[in-house]
């Protein structure tokens, strides 16, 4: 006996695979993370600027409180002794700016320490002309370098690698601040010497970033680029942009140049004298 069976239904065809997305280029793979990091830093810089403007009104963000936060942050990586010494050198550096600001009649609103970014002094101006701005800018490295140099005799007398390493870091801190890019101290000095050096300094910093990528360099490049563009855009609107602001006597320009070059030389020699091999470091 035979049994009739209906014909089997044809098997459904498998769905077509989705079109393969083109593989991103090497440039896009490299620039993608940098774009995200840059966007994050821009947002952080905007918040930092807001904090500096609100500093006089915020009781919790006092100088001492932000110093303690910085000490705690640095201590995680370098130990509390080095953290205290490093923040103390930062404080002395910033006090150099504060002293000169008061001499120039600039009202100081406060000092804020930001872990791994240094410190900043709140003020609405940098003096009434480029010479005053240069004096304020160089006062920090001058006082900071003198304080750092004062550590060398104690380090030599005790044979302390710790003090040598701290002095080395202090010299490097002041030398780095002399890079001719606003808003670094070297950029402030260029206001009285040769403002066109801002472009050269920016290009040098950009090249250094390409060789040694670092989020802090991204922040400096962003702030430097925005500040340089602001000054160029407002060059006919007064304040830091007008011709009178940058009118400096040759003798004063020479004095600023001498101090600037001398600071670079002293910091470079100081770093050489206090260098500690990492294999023998504390």
pLDDT band at 13 (very low <50, low <70, confident <90, very high): low
φ/ψ (deg, to 5) at 18: -65, 150
Residues in the chain: 282
Which segment of 6-20, 61-75, 140-154, 224-238 scores lowest on mean pLDDT? 6-20
What angle separates helix 161-176 from helix 151-158, to the nearest 10 degrees? 160
Phi then psi for residue 277, to 5 deg, are -65, 135
Please write the tens of the pLDDT for every residue from 198-252.
Answer: 888 888 888 888 888 877 778 888 888 888 787 777 665 655 557 778 889 999 9
- Residues 195, 188: Cα–Cα separation, whole Å: 9
CB 87 within 8 A of CB 113: yes
Report CA torsion sign: 264, 228, 215, 79: positive
Mean predicted confidence (pLDDT) in 160-188: 92
Which pLDDT belongs to residue 17? 56
| pLDDT over 50 at 7, yes or no | no
Shortest CA distance to 141 belongs to which of 40, 251, 259?
259
Tell whether pTM > 0.85: no
Nearest to 194 by CA among 184, 186, 203: 186
**pLDDT for 237:** 61
pLDDT at 118: 87
Confidence class of residue 12 from pLDDT cuts 50, 70 and 90?
A: low
Q: Which long-range contacts (CB under 8 A, 24 or more apart) does 47-53 make?
A: 48/114, 48/117, 48/120, 51/112, 52/109, 52/110, 52/112, 52/120, 52/122, 53/122
pLDDT over 50 (residue 16) = yes
Instruction: Give mean pLDDT, residues 93-111.
Output: 92
> Between these two residues, 211 and 16, which has the higher pLDDT value?
211
Task: Tell me how far apart the alpha carbons of residues 87 and 118 are, in angstroms, rounded to a whole number.
Answer: 8
The mean predicted confidence, pLDDT, of the chain is 79
Cis amide bond preceding 183, omega within 30:
yes
Q: How far is CA 202 from the centre of its chain?
A: 13
Q: How confident is the model at residue 128 (pLDDT cuts 50, 70, 90)?
A: confident
> Looking at residue 41, what is its pLDDT?
45
Residue 54 or 124, more confident: 124
pLDDT at 271: 93
Predicted confidence (pLDDT) per residue in 34-57, tens digit: 444 444 444 444 444 454 445 444
Confidence of residue 14 (pLDDT cuts 50, 70, 90): low
- Residue 240: the pLDDT is 55
Delimit the domains of the chain by residue range.
59-280
Task: Note the pLDDT of residue 30.
Answer: 41
Q: What percent of the chain has pLDDT over 90?
A: 43
């Amino acid at each position: 006996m035979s049994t009739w069976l209906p014909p089997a239904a044809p098997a459904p065809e498998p769905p077509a695979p989705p079109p393969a997305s083109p593989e991103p280029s090497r440039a896009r793979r490299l620039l993608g993370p940098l774009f995200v990091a840059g966007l994050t830093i821009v947002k952080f810089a905007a918040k930092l600027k807001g904090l500096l403007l609100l500093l006089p009104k915020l009781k919790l963000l006092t100088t001492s409180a932000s110093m303690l936060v910085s000490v705690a942050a640095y201590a995680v990586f370098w130990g509390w002794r080095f953290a205290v010494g490093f923040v103390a050198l930062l404080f002395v550096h910033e006090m150099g700016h504060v002293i000169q600001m008061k001499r120039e009649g600039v009202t100081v609103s406060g000092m804020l320490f930001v872990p791994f970014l240094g410190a900043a002094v709140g003020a609405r101006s940098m003096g009434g002309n480029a010479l005053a701005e240069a004096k304020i800018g160089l006062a920090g490295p001058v006082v900071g370098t003198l304080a750092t140099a004062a550590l060398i005799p104690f380090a030599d007398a005790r044979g302390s690698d710790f003090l040598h390493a701290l002095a080395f870091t202090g010299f490097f801190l002041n030398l780095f601040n002399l890079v001719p890019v606003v808003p670094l101290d070297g950029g402030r000095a260029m206001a009285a010497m040769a403002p066109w050096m801002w472009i050269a300094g920016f290009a040098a910093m950009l090249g250094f970033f390409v060789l040694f990528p670092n989020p802090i360099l991204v922040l400096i490049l962003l702030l430097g680029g925005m500040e340089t563009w602001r000054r160029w855009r407002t060059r006919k609107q007064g304040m830091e942009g007008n011709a009178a602001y940058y009118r400096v006597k040759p003798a004063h320009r020479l004095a600023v140049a001498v101090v600037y070059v001398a600071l670079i030389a002293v910091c470079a020699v100081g770093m050489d004298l206090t260098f500690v091999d990492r294999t023998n470091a504390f």
